[in-house]
Amino acid sequence: MNNQNNNHDSSTTLIKAGWREWASLPDLGIDRIEVKVDTGARTSALHATDIHIFEKNNETWVKFNAVVERGDDENDSVAVECPLVEKREVRSSNGDTEIRPTISTTLAIGGLCYKIIITLTNRGDMRFRMLLGREALKKRFLVDSSTSHICNHSNNLELP
């Protein structure tokens, strides 16, 4: 059987994804965000502003505004507080190294819902407010860089 045109290959259980997709981060209150699927990035990254680390109930938490759309409209951001996983050193595509706060949250994409690790950084100069990196993609998705927005549509799913 030729599975080249199928978006879900039962022998590998990989879902076909384009170079950009729609997703949601339900734990953060983000119902819809366009993500750039980036196999060159190890970790996922979310555009965050006003990042503050603080103590709550003897745990380290992070508070930030997650900006989900391009532009300066405050209505396009979501105020978030969640536990801090760690601070991680990340090398950006321009070669600079940055220490970033890291969180764990649920990603909903392509009919799947699972926990991923996301670093928080200012992506204000970038076209996409979120990168979906290799760690979040592995063993779940096959990326077709020639297309976009096929993951939910091709699986007849819509985001909430």
CA atoms of 39 and 43, how far apart (whole Å): 9
Q: Which domains does the chain have, with CATH numbers?
A: 15-132+140-154 (2.40.70.10)
Could you tell me which residues come within 8 angstroms of residue 139 by beta carbon, excluding any fewer than 6 positions away? 14
CA atoms of 70 and 77, how far apart (whole Å): 10
* Among 27, 38, 67, residue whose Cα is nearest residue 50: 67
Could you tell me which residues come within 8 angstroms of residue 19 by beta carbon, excluding any fewer than 6 positions away? 36, 37, 143, 144, 145, 146, 147, 148
Query: Residues in the chain with pLDDT < 70?
Result: 1-12, 70-75, 153-160
What angle (nearest 5°) sits at the alpha carbon of residue 142, between those of residues 136 and 148?
Answer: 90
CB 66 within 8 A of CB 47: yes
pTM for the full predicted model: 0.83
**Predicted pLDDT of residue 71:** 54
**Residues 67-98: tens digit of each pLDDT:** 887 555 555 789 999 999 999 998 877 788 98
CB 35 within 8 A of CB 20: yes
**Predicted pLDDT of residue 131:** 94
CB 26 within 8 A of CB 108: yes
